Amino acid sequence: MAEKLEAVAGVLPHILRHEVFYIGPIPVTSTVVNTWLVMIALFIGVWLLTRKGFKEVPTGIQCILEAIVEFIYSIIDSGFGRQGRRFVPIIGGYFLFILAMNISWFIPDLVPPTTDIMTTAALGISALVVVHATAIYEKGLGGYLKQFVSPNPILLPMNILEELIKPFSLALRLFGNMFGEKMVTSIIFVLVPLFAPVPVMALGLLMGAIQAYIFSLLVTTYLAHFHHE
Amino acid sequence: MTAGLFAVALTIVLPAVVSALSQAWSTVTAMNAMSRQPEAADTMRGALLLALAFMEALTLFAFVIAFMLLGRVG
């Protein structure tokens, strides 16, 4: 039993990122390489699936693709309303990319990039930039700044704080869920290697899909907060 | 050392218990509502997941703080 507990303590270094190679003085970590792998897989998958073009009456794989797009529409409709459908590319991009990164867990020996807080922090900050840039673009600088002093100028510090907390909470939610799930599975794998991790891994598959859904739903809600009157 | 580890364990356990209870309560309420009005289940499901995500976030903040404390203790 004692050596098993020793092995549990050694689980963490397998999950944390490590440096793979250097470009000049800049270290390239395993997270970045794994993200590249996921991106290549996603690009090739999308290219293969959409290569043939689309038909008026869907058959075969086109039905599945249309179901995915309908699902992204349903995310936007529930968070923003129908007029938010112009944001389908960004929301769908977030959804598919995070889903692919979470599910890349099931490739042996690949640590999913979302278990590194740097990936999720980058996603959260990019969501912040998207929300504010589109708000400035559509409402103009004046209308955008007016949002911060409504309904009352006293709330200005609160509003600014809220905007700064949003990417933080997005990043921590995704990171905490995926890291915790991966950690629990690894520990169970060390303690009881045979069959015991399977239900937890199945839960991880569900959790990865739900986290991708929640991330895109929250980004939609944040967009709606700025774009609605 | 042991007391510090105990404090770290409490940091993660207490928010986990509280958020599990609150998630259970909101899920039960949503289930009741869904079984009463199945036609409104879709909108409820979205709102339920959003609420669960916010409750989950509190535990995760505690998780991160526990990790930071663990670095100080161990």
CATH number where B44 lies: 1.20.20.10
Q: How many CB atoms lie within 10 A of CB A42?
A: 17
State how many domains chain B has: 1
Kindly list the residues from chain A whose CB atom is less than 8 angstroms away from the CB atom of residue B50: 214, 217-218, 221
In a domain, A23, yes or no: yes
What pLDDT is attached to residue A129? 93
Q: Note the pLDDT tens digit of each residue in A64-97.
A: 888 999 999 988 888 788 888 888 999 999 999 9
Q: How far is the CA of A50 from the CAs of A42, A54, A57, A59, B52, in angstroms?
A: 12, 8, 15, 13, 35
Q: Per-block average pLDDT, block size 10, for chain A (229 residues)?
A: 74 78 84 91 90 80 88 87 86 93 86 88 93 89 83 85 88 88 86 85 88 91 82
Write the residue in A172, A210, A221 that is nearest to B57 by C-beta. A172
In a domain, A2, yes or no: no
What pLDDT is attached to residue A97? 93
Q: How far is A174 from chain B (nearest CA, A)?
A: 9
Query: Residue A126 has which token pair?
Result: 């990019």
Q: Note the pLDDT tens digit of each residue in B26-54.
A: 999 999 999 999 998 888 888 888 888 88
In a domain, A149, yes or no: yes
What pLDDT is attached to residue B18? 94
* Residue span of the structural domain in which B8 resides: 2-73
State how many domains chain A has: 1
Write the residue in A79, A172, A214 that is nearest to B60 by C-beta. A172
Q: Do the Cβ atoms of A214 and B64 come within 8 Å?
A: no
Q: How far is the CA of B59 from the CAs of A140, B6, B21, in angstroms?
A: 38, 17, 12
Residue pair B63/A224 in contact by the 8 Å Cβ criterion: no
Question: Which residues lie closer than 8 Å to A16 by C-beta, 6 or more apart?
Answer: A116
> What pTM, to 2 d.p., does this model score?
0.86
Kindly list the residues from chain B whose CB atom is less than 8 angstroms away from the CB atom of residue A172: 57, 60-61, 64
Residue percentage of chain A with pLDDT more than 70: 99
In a domain, A3, yes or no: no
ipTM of this predicted structure: 0.73
